[in-house]
Amino acid sequence: MDTLLTSINKKVKITDEHTSIFANTQPIVRRMKPDTTHQLPLTRLWAPWRIEYIRSIKEDGCIFCDKPENDDDREMLILHRGKLAFVMMNLFPYNNGHLLIAPYTHADNPGDLSCEERSEIMELADASMIIIKKVMKAEGFNFGANIGCAGGAGIEEHVHFHVVPRWRGDTNFMPVLGHTKVQVDGLKESYNNLKPHFDGISLKGDT
């Protein structure tokens, strides 16, 4: 841990808040293949406290079934409603612009979805990444799903896909965002910036 903090300290200024978060939660940083193009190592931060936090405040019911039932898209942070799936902002983001894509069907496994549902999810993911790249100047993405409790799913009953924008050097603030309180004001601001672009998307399946 000390070695880890020392190496991180060389790259970023660590505040007392950062240090206490690291000390209390013992995050694991896995160093991956170096990005020789930009001379910055790519690191993947695993934030186990985040999932515990989500599970601790879990509401009754299923948010991926309940939120689309509500007509107030802004309040529900829903950016786009497709025919078979929808896009919403993650209330517990790993990073600014962290989106979730879920089918309307309540299923815990991608294999239980129809080909049309899976296809639309991929199209929505593609459209989401194009928009975030344009609006937020994202330099890369993590895209995927956590399946089952052991796979790290916060809500395992209803399969959903994460689109997490990445910027070079962003790993130093990710654990801080993941640990601290939900920043709804910031989410609404991002929502307002992204929503007009999501209103304008048309999927291949629409034509």
Give the nearest residue (CB) to Zn ion.
Answer: 62
Q: Does 106 bind Zn ion (CB under 5 A)?
A: yes
Rounded alpha-carbon distances, angstroms, from residue 15 to 20, 101, 154, 178, 196: 9, 34, 29, 16, 37
CB of 63 to Zn ion, least distance (A): 8
Taking alpha carbons only, the member of 24, 168, 28 closest to residue 95 is 168
Number of amino acids touching Zn ion (CB under 5 A): 5
User: Is the Cβ of residue 141 or residue 161 nearer to Zn ion in the bound state?
Assistant: 161
Task: Give the interface segment with Zn ion, choosing from 85-93, 120-128, 156-164, 197-205 (CB under 5 A).
Answer: 156-164
Q: In the stretch 52-81, what mask flags binding to Zn ion with x, by CB under 5 A?
A: ----------x-xx----------------
CB of 105 to Zn ion, least distance (A): 8
Single out the residue of 118, 133, 158, 166 in contact with Zn ion (rule: CB under 5 A).
158
**Tokens representing residue 32 in the block:** 């991956």
Cα 41 to Cα 168: distance, rounded to the nearest angstrom: 9
Rounded alpha-carbon distances, angstroms, from residue 85 to 40, 124, 186: 37, 8, 25
CB of 152 to Zn ion, least distance (A): 18
Active site residue 160: yes
Out of 160, 162, 179, 197, pick the active-site residue: 160
Taking alpha carbons only, the member of 163, 177, 171 closest to residue 29 is 171
Cα 67 to Cα 7: distance, rounded to the nearest angstrom: 42
CB of 104 to Zn ion, least distance (A): 8
Taking alpha carbons only, the member of 88, 97, 101 closest to residue 165 is 97
User: Is the Cβ of residue 105 or residue 183 nearer to Zn ion in the bound state?
Assistant: 105
Residues assigned a catalytic role: 160
Footprint of Zn ion (CB under 5 A): 62, 64-65, 106, 158
